[in-house]
Chains A and B, each alone.
Chain A
């Protein structure tokens, strides 16, 4: 791989337009395959309802209502699981030969991956909005500032977007869509459950709580809870943003590089 100045100039010039083209393509696919959208929304809504009603009575969250505790966590969980679709979508494009076509076009090299992630992020905005709506219906309430209320779902979407890049690096490295799906869930499940998403970290065994306390998921969810409940959020927010910046610093170049060297 030789990165020439000319290639970089082309990247800067064409990336915005090309990303928009790919975004449009993926959004059309969502609109025309309603099953995709239904699947990616029903599952998170089901999680909200199941956890709120099944575990709601059993899990002690102190003075905070369980639904108020749960919703930020479940938003983060949904965007994380949703991020697997980035890799799956890219792997499908690799198998179908679409990626070969894109890679022979004189287009920005980041556009296919970035356009995919922009579309997945758009979907996440929709999913997060829907879950908030369902949450309100079953008793979720904000207790903090208006700014916090706006920032909370925004952090969730940003967090999902970050993990889409990891998923993209996986999707461009495997041969089959099924592999991309499985390969993502293998690390996502422990990451989501060993965190403060569903239960307070203090309830875990010591060794596990050490892991959970330092997880990017925990920092993000704690920041979101702080924003929603009107409690402290700066420290977890800064840690969460640092994690996101770190992940992107590694996985944005990695995903683009993997995309370019698909064999």
Chain B
């Protein structure tokens, strides 16, 4: 293990352009009986976005806390820019930014004071700190609210302020722990735009999310984690391919017919169909899609089921998760906003 860490350090120090900037080797972390991380290894290439995708309790925050020097791993090692997060935390801290799961914003301070305080704690010098705060307020569209206490901010504004605070020292690696959890769809879209712009400037990002769509939208590489273990890794396209390619979806207007449609798709498809009663749709993975499509249409016609919509499409990451883990990417209600996933 020590040898490997040494290698990573050498590569990073040697500023080899293609060396990973974050290296995690077999990290374990338990809280009592709970194995929050049960042997996680991954690498993040400089300038890329890694999406860490998993349901509530998967271990995402624990990994982020290990990588941001907040938590010592029980076993294994991790380096950021070649520095060990446990032994060289004073070296790691100036290089990282963290926007945690709950926006770490001081309610009684104004937006500007929040950013200036963080800048001062990076020991930037008063003038630089003030300039940096102004710059970030402008960049995150918070200038108008800059002199207001953060307690008056909306959820989206708090997240943007939190993100701004994590960028004060121009970190090389940015950790975003569920940046859009709890935001309404509009605010989420806005934050995605902000994150995309950030990535365009070359910042390396580790982003955790429960939203499959979010990982698909923002990440170059996705790591799926469940119960402290990595269960899949690849690009969004890779992961989709792994869940059996195309999906055949049927939507009915009469919910009473859902059972019948399910039976038909079970017979024609390659696996168990998923039924979504809310939208009245049933879908199943199929190979040789066009032929199956014709078969399904014929059978449903014979059964006199009225079809509202039918088609072939790529699987969603939700279906990928289901095929990888055998359970849906469900989140505990306490933590998930309505309509999540």
Q: How far is the CB of B158 from chain A (nearest CB, A)?
A: 11
Known: A28-B113, A104-B93. Is A97-B123 also a contact (CB below 8 A)? no
The answer for the CA separation of A1 and B89 in the assembled complex, in Å, is: 10
The answer for the CA separation of A4 and B90 in the assembled complex, in Å, is: 9
The answer for the CA separation of A1 and B69 in the assembled complex, in Å, is: 10
Contact B121 A28 (CB under 8 A): no
Contact B113 A97 (CB under 8 A): no
Residues of chain B with a CB closer than 8 A to A211's CB: none
Contact B100 A100 (CB under 8 A): yes
Interface: B117 (CB within 8 A): yes
Contact A100 B90 (CB under 8 A): no
Per the 8 Å Cβ criterion, residues 65-123 of B in contact with A are 65, 68-72, 86-87, 89-90, 93-94, 96-98, 100-104, 106-109, 113, 117-118, 120-123
Contact A2 B96 (CB under 8 A): no
The answer for the CA separation of A263 and B109 in the assembled complex, in Å, is: 26
**Given B98, B101, B108, B120, which contacts A104 in the complex, CB threshold below 8 Å?**
B98
The answer for the CA separation of A32 and B166 in the assembled complex, in Å, is: 25
**Given B90, B106, B107, which contacts A106 in the complex, CB threshold below 8 Å?**
B90
Q: Is the interface of A mostly helix, strand, loop or mixed?
A: helix
Known: A17-B123, A21-B117, A21-B121. Is A101-B100 also a contact (CB below 8 A)? yes
Residues of chain A with a CB closer than 8 A to B69's CB: 103-104
Q: Of A6-14, A177-185, A222-230, which binds chain B?
A: A6-14
Per the 8 Å Cβ criterion, residues 126-176 of A in contact with B are none
Known: A21-B121, A106-B123. Is A101-B98 also a contact (CB below 8 A)? yes
Residues of chain A with a CB closer than 8 A to B121's CB: 18, 21, 102, 105-107, 111
Residues of chain B with a CB closer than 8 A to A102's CB: 121
Known: A28-B113, A32-B108. Is A21-B120 also a contact (CB below 8 A)? yes
Residues of chain A with a CB closer than 8 A to B102's CB: 96-97
Residues of chain B with a CB closer than 8 A to A98's CB: 104, 106
Q: How far is the CB of B81 from chain A (nearest CB, A)?
A: 14
The answer for the CA separation of A2 and B94 in the assembled complex, in Å, is: 18
Per the 8 Å Cβ criterion, residues 29-60 of A in contact with B are 29, 32-33
Known: A21-B117, A25-B106, A104-B93. Is A2-B86 also a contact (CB below 8 A)? yes
The answer for the CA separation of A94 and B174 in the assembled complex, in Å, is: 21
Residues of chain B with a CB closer than 8 A to A10's CB: 90
**Given B71, B72, B104, B108, which contacts A97 in the complex, CB threshold below 8 Å?**
B104
**Given A6, A17, A21, A104, which contacts B96 in the complex, CB threshold below 8 Å?**
A104
Q: How far is the CB of B300 from chain A (nearest CB, A)?
A: 52
Contact B100 A97 (CB under 8 A): yes
The answer for the CA separation of A33 and B101 in the assembled complex, in Å, is: 26
Interface: B258 (CB within 8 A): no
Total number of A residues with any Cβ neighbor in B under 8 Å: 30
Interface: B165 (CB within 8 A): yes
Contact B113 A263 (CB under 8 A): no
Known: A32-B108, A100-B70, A103-B70. Is A25-B117 also a contact (CB below 8 A)? yes
B166's nearest neighbour on chain A, judged by CB, is A101
Known: A18-B121, A25-B109, A28-B113. Is A100-B104 also a contact (CB below 8 A)? yes
Q: Mark A75-111, 1 if CB is under 8 A from B, else 0.
A: 0000000000000000000001110111111110001
Contact B108 A28 (CB under 8 A): yes
B72's nearest neighbour on chain A, judged by CB, is A1
Per the 8 Å Cβ criterion, residues 211-263 of A in contact with B are 262-263
A107's nearest neighbour on chain B, judged by CB, is B121
The answer for the CA separation of A179 and B117 in the assembled complex, in Å, is: 29
Contact B70 A96 (CB under 8 A): no
Contact A101 B101 (CB under 8 A): no
Residues of chain B with a CB closer than 8 A to A24's CB: 117
Residues of chain A with a CB closer than 8 A to B97's CB: 104
Contact A263 B31 (CB under 8 A): yes
The answer for the CA separation of A18 and B108 in the assembled complex, in Å, is: 19
Contact B90 A6 (CB under 8 A): yes
The answer for the CA separation of A106 and B88 in the assembled complex, in Å, is: 12
Residues of chain A with a CB closer than 8 A to B93's CB: 104-106
The answer for the CA separation of A97 and B31 in the assembled complex, in Å, is: 19
Residues of chain A with a CB closer than 8 A to B106's CB: 25, 29, 98
Residues of chain B with a CB closer than 8 A to A32's CB: 108, 149
A108's nearest neighbour on chain B, judged by CB, is B121
| 6 A-B residue pairs with CB within 8 Å | A96-B102, A96-B104, A103-B69, A105-B93, A105-B121, A107-B121
Q: Which 8 A-B pairs have the closest CB atoms?
A: A101-B104, A97-B104, A97-B102, A29-B108, A106-B93, A107-B121, A104-B98, A97-B100
Residues of A that sit less than 8 Å from B by CB? 1-2, 4, 6-7, 10, 14, 17-18, 21, 24-25, 28-29, 32-33, 96-98, 100-107, 111, 262-263
Given contacts A25-B109, A28-B108, A104-B93, 7 further A-B contacts (CB under 8 A): A1-B72, A2-B87, A24-B117, A28-B113, A32-B108, A100-B70, A101-B100
